[in-house]
Amino acid sequence: MYEELKKILQNGRRMVFFGGAGVSTESGIPDFRSESGLYNARNRYGVAPEYLLSEECFLREPEIFFSYYKENFIPKNAKPNKAHRALAMLEEQGKLAAVITQNVDGLHQMAGSKNVLELHGSIHDNRCLSCDARYALAHLVDEKNWINGIPRCSVCGGTVKPRVVLYGEALDEDCIRRSVEAIEAADVLIIGGTSLAVWPAAGFIHNFNGDKLVLINRSVTGVDQEADLLIREPIGEVLGTCLNLK
């Protein structure tokens, strides 16, 4: 399997990567949908995690929303793993046209990837809802900027909201368009670290009409039977081995 993947990576000229939470688990960021992942917050908060990460929770109970968000979505010393680094290397070589990610952690950019399409936004982009002042992640990390459990704007005192897509919110139309266009133009589509259970993003891959569909995921997905190459191993180990990363 590894030799076949190496050949695909060598021959690909306009590859696109579509990834999810499993890409970042090897960096210590829990998989959102795993049994031991963030969804176990139900036991602590007494409500479904979908509610804790919803627009409704943010508007009705912002203190609870931000408590959960700060505890689980601000990574503590997370670093790019071999998967992130391998994809950045492929882009630098001119082989990878785009990274389309459902993650919000920014690890692809930290590894060096330039053309990253973040379908669900980014924890590194934060805006004041009152005056639209922009803040880096450091603003939310610093508790001095929090008042009564809510991060506040240093300019006007308004609420600073992370630019991540919450349940009940729509994906960015421009990001959708660019993602679909990238997939349509790809000669190789590599899907990794995602169960393809989150819609509408999971449906984008059906726009692929290229030569090779590669699926690297530890669990079963709905498109396993369509893959030209299926590998059920950790994606960091797979890509790291194929590109000889230490």
Q: Mind telling me the catalytic residues?
A: 120
Task: Kindly state the DSSP code that residue 29 receives in the 8-state scheme.
Answer: P
Pair of tokens at residue 209 = 């009409």
Please report the DSSP string for 106-173 in residue order.
-HHHHHT--SEEETTEEEEEEEETTT--EE-HHHHH-GGGEETTEEB-TTT-PBEEEEEPPBTPPPPH
Evaluate whether 166 touches 51 at the Cβ level (below 8 Å). Answer: no
The CA distance from 146 to 88, in Å, is 35
With the CA atoms of 57, 176, 236 and 37 taken in that order, what torsion angle do they form, in degrees rounded to the nearest 10? 20
Count Cβ atoms within 10 A of the Cβ of residue 209 and give its class: 0-12 exposed, 13-18 middle, 19 or more buried: exposed
Q: In this structure, are strands 146-147 and 96-101 parallel, antiparallel, or unpaired? A: unpaired
Ramachandran bin of 157, using left for φ above 0, alpha for ψ from -120 to 50, beta for the remaining angles: left
Evaluate whether 194 touches 221 at the Cβ level (below 8 Å). Answer: yes
